[in-house]
A = this chain, B = another copy of it.
């Protein structure tokens, strides 16, 4: 037997018991004739005491232990003379009477402490050591808790988890698939699913009524920071529902998770149309932890002779409360911020609403004190506030102002990671025009249903058609999205037409789904939540990678196991494949 208790378990009431513990040497120190070792396991730390006077040999052995050695000790629980109130086991220590070294350890390449000296690359290579660190472990424990609570909540309201296949068929629509060559069927490939979309819809056709799955999905995209080629979704679908049913169900789920996992009551989720979100926040994933809403400043800024504004399609302002005292340096920094190539504004106009009733703007040449007073009134700025304005074409200016608003929100401390303000963004456009391919793409995916009231203009004015689509947004992050699906074969067929599929392509790729729609498909809809993202949100972090046990790096490589890697020639031959890699590299 390796232990009677864990390293997080012993308390003052265990004093007098003989116990056996196993764990890792976290820290060791000598103090007079004593050696103290902090023994660590997943559950906590327990102090071990070795006495040179009474057990010289054992104590000498203990002094030879290095960090991260794995040991097993037996001893008596005694009350500590100097207690540590920071840890639950801090009132006791173990007077060790016997010790066994279960395994030695080389000196780790970085320190296994809450704050480590290891760089990113080193910690990725030795991920199994990084995983020992308490902050990393607690992130994965949070992930486990969230997955258990999600499943139990959905189970409690009659959802069934159904496993859908991983070896499916490649579809050219959307992102790139990872493919898997078949050995049994020469020249043919499976694809790994980007989502279980069609399968969950089939389950609705099959009458499963409420489906969920916490499931890995795969996308062979050029990686941006914090994208992973494999990621996890909470994937859900319901039959006989309308949009409101889905919103209420998953709002309920997420509020339940906040309650049981973080002890937080989050407010009911407001619903905001896509159009409103874009007009008010310049983003379809607004961070509503703070206000600072967009104000259309055109009516009070144009036709006063300032060409920049006069020529602009849009002049958008925000009010930064209490920032009238911003220094020149601070204002210059804001201008530099919006002029960065990633944002690309040409300049930033500000107007200080001073506490003495005067106004001071960067365009005083063009606008009188009265003009600026009108701005303040129009924007709802009080004395002591700062108005910031950007102008240009509407879409670009919205995007730029969104960035500036988020930046200001951060500077002003409005983006507390422990405050959560979810909302639903609804009424998304069905399609978006792609300049490059000169055709419409599905904004959500080809299975999303148009608003019934827009069916009449589906072919005549496709860009104006809204969809029964919705996103769950929390703190400026899109946590999930979904839609009410098409369940009518003819509408699905019209949709494929609109998206530029030939009849043959539609049949080859989605024939099984359209065929299923002919045998009594119920109305249905669903949602998929990004589970990695949800975990990072709950963990108060921006990086999903921290919440994945064995993540890939930005080049989609696992540097710990060194994958991907070449395979041998015989294996290639079995798969009827030849590599052209050498010629092309």
Which A residues between 452 and 504 are near B, CB-CB below 8 angstroms?
487-488
Kindly provide the distance from the CB of A203 to the nearest chain B CB, expressed in whole angstroms: 7
Contacts of A516 in B (CB 8 A): 128
Chain B residues lying within 8 Å of A306, measured Cβ to Cβ, are none
Interface flag for A108 (CB, 8 Å): yes
* Minimum Cβ distance to chain B for residue A577 (Å): 5
A279 is an interface residue with CB less than 8 A from chain B: no
Q: Are B520 and A105 in contact (CB under 8 A)?
A: yes
Contact B2 A165, beta carbon cutoff 8 Å: no
Of B163, B183, B202, B519, the residue contacting A68 (CB under 8 A) is B519
A157 within 8 A of B: no
Asked if A176 is at the interface of the complex by the 8 Å CB criterion, the answer is yes
How many whole Å from A9's CB to the nearest CB in chain B? 11
Inter-subunit contact A189/B128 (CB<8 Å): no
Q: Are B160 and A512 in contact, CB atoms less than 8 angstroms apart?
A: no
Q: Which of B144, B162, B199 contacts A162 (CB 8 A)?
A: B144
Closest to A69 in B: B520
Of residues 401 through 440 on chain A, the ones whose CB sits less than 8 Å from some CB of chain B are none
A223 to B185 alpha-carbon distance, docked (Å): 13
The answer to whether the Cβ of A190 comes within 8 Å of any Cβ in the partner chain is yes
Say whether, besides A189-B566, A242-B2, A563-B167, A207 and B137 are in contact (CB < 8 Å).
Answer: yes
Contacts of A275 in B (CB 8 A): none
Identify A169's interface contact among B165, B203, B561, CB under 8 A: B561
Stretch at the interface among A291-299, A362-370, A390-398, A552-560: A552-560
- Over the window 528-543 of chain A, the binary record of Cβ atoms lying under 8 Å from chain B Cβ atoms (1 yes, 0 no) is 0000000000000000
Closest 8 CB pairs of A and B: A187-B581, A105-B520, A131-B206, A186-B581, A169-B563, A188-B564, A2-B240, A68-B520
User: What would be 16 A-B contacts, judged by CB atoms less than 8 Å apart?
Assistant: A2-B241, A128-B512, A140-B162, A165-B552, A166-B216, A169-B563, A169-B564, A172-B571, A184-B223, A184-B555, A185-B557, A187-B566, A188-B566, A189-B564, A190-B563, A512-B560
